[in-house]
Amino acid sequence: MEHNEYVDLGRFETYIHYHFHDKHLLLEALSHSSYANEKRKTRNSNERLEFLGDSVLSIVVSEFLFHKYPNLPEGELTKLRASMVCEKALHVFAQEIHLGEFLLLGKGEEHTGGRERSSILADAFEAVIAAIFLDGGMDAAKRHILRFIPEDPEESAPIGFRDYKTQLQEVIQKNPEEKVEYVLVDECGPDHDKAFTVEVCLNSNVIGTGVGHSKKAAEQLAAKEALSLMGYDKA
């Protein structure tokens, strides 16, 4: 089969403790857009799976925190969840299952260190979650995700991480009629070195702009700039 030339799926399955019924789902989860583009129509990238995996991860972590901390208010639960599903945390989880070794990358991405790039590994980690969810259901996805959740998440949040999006939301919520929206305004560069530009808007007015190698990073930087301009971010 084609994939045997590129990646040992069986070995990866031993790392994630899950055996796929549909190997094509796993192949898609491991296929970066740079690889899919080179293969044209013979291979889908993992971007759609990443979209789904992000939601599955969020619901599993939310449920875990909801039961783990019955007295913690919504705002604190939101901050805690954000620290557990941020790119920095997912990068660490991806390294635990040696995900970088099994990625299918385009030549340019391969030659520029894509296997170690935080944004690529975080996105692929979410795509693998979606693949497990589609192949084995929510229980299988939940078992997989909970392997990475520390016993006491409050003590284990990534050091130095600040969730600027949640911080900005808390500031804006003081005025209930206000609405915050993140808009992707530009995406440039080759597959192996993309730059995303995101604007954060308050009632359609731009209040901050961020540029990052992933949409999530750009959104965080846009929120950080908005907080700074509003005088809330002094750290």
Active-site residue list: 54, 126
CA 212/CA 98 separation, integer angstroms:
24
C-alpha to C-alpha distance for 146 and 4, rounded to whole angstroms: 30
Q: Which amino acid is at 83?
A: S
Residue 120 CA: distances (Å) to CA of 76, 88, 193, 194, 225: 28, 11, 10, 11, 24
First to last CA, the chain: 53
Write the CA distances from 11 to 14, 34, 86, 97, 102, integer angstroms. Answer: 5, 23, 27, 10, 9
97 near 15, Cβ under 8 Å? Answer: yes
C-beta of residue 44 within 8 angstroms of C-beta of residue 52: no
Residue 176: CB atoms within 10 Å:
7
Written as six digits, the tokens of 77 are 């639960």
Determine whether 161 is exposed, middle or buried from the number of CB atoms within 10 Å of its CB (0-12, 13-18, 19+): middle
Residue 180 near residue 200 (C-beta atoms within 8 A): yes
